[in-house]
Amino acid sequence: MIEVRAANDRGHAEHGWLSSRHTFSFANYYDPRQVGFSDLLVINDDRVAPGRGFGTHPHRDMEILSYVLEGALEHKDSMGTGSVIVPGDVQLMSAGTGVAHSEFNHSRAEPVHFLQIWIGPAEKGAQPRYQQQNIPSADKRGTFRLVVSPDGADGSLAIRQDTRIYAGLLDGDASASVELPANRFAYVHVARGSVTVNGVTLGEGDGARIRDERALTFSNGHDAEVLVFDLRPIEVTAEWA
């Protein structure tokens, strides 16, 4: 079963320096029907003006991913990490017992466009940690590359949850599939472009909750960049909502 979450139905916030679209309830946007899916709690589609950004603020007990689509995002945190995240990079910060960080547009001339993704951890009170790697476009073109997993399989980043995230680039006649274990949920997010999954067409910013499917087949891509989340088969609980 595929349940589409249309891009135009997302929550949004406009702050001048920040334009944000919220797939799930976040900050001042609350919809009781959209409080996450399984352990996936936040997908914020953020565009930040040149030289602007999020000042230092704390997190704890959350797995936080940044996935840059355009531009460059500068990160600093209380663990002493400083980095610039560019397209192709996947950054994972495990907040654990607590970490403070800031995120700014690294450029004074160009905007930055990125996804901020939050996943609830299986373990609370863990040691904070930071991971980042670049996945070349060639590794994602016409296929889906594992970028996040519980055990860091195949060179992916290790997350403290039973979650796997795949990234793919599809265009023209290319098609690709993601096989799902039995009794799993999945969430698909189209970061840009458009694509068809199991006969359902999704455009830029669209998402889909998926239940009771063993394989996801993607085709008819038009400059599509897609994330697939393989998730535990649970509904969101009040603990995370």
- Residue 196 CB contacts under 8 Å (≥ 6 apart), including other chains: 202, 218, 219, 220, 221
Q: Per the structure block, which two tokens stand in for 213?
A: 């499917």
Q: What is the pLDDT of residue 95?
A: 94
Quick check: is 239 in a domain?
Answer: no
Quick check: is 19 in a domain?
Answer: yes
What gap in Å lies between CA 237 and CA 103, rounded to an integer?
Answer: 29
Quick check: is 169 in a domain?
Answer: yes
Percent of the chain, pLDDT > 90? 86
Quick check: is 90 in a domain?
Answer: yes
Quick check: is 193 in a domain?
Answer: yes
Residue 176 sits in a domain of what CATH number? 2.60.120.10
Quick check: is 236 in a domain?
Answer: no
77, pLDDT greater than 90: no
How many structural domains comprise the chain? 1
Quick check: is 241 in a domain?
Answer: no
- Residue 50 CB contacts under 8 Å (≥ 6 apart), including other chains: 105, 107, 108, 109, 110, 111
Domain carrying residue 15? 2-231
Quick check: is 238 in a domain?
Answer: no
Q: How confident is the model at residue 240 (pLDDT cuts 50, 70, 90)?
A: very low
Q: Mean pLDDT score of the chain, rounded to an integer?
A: 94
Lowest mean pLDDT, pick from 54-58, 143-147, 169-173, 208-212 = 54-58
Torsional class of 212: left (φ above 0), alpha (ψ -120 to 50), beta (otherwise) = left
63, pLDDT greater than 80: yes
238, pLDDT greater than 50: no
- Residue 191 CB contacts under 8 Å (≥ 6 apart), including other chains: 45, 67, 69, 115, 204, 225, 226, 227
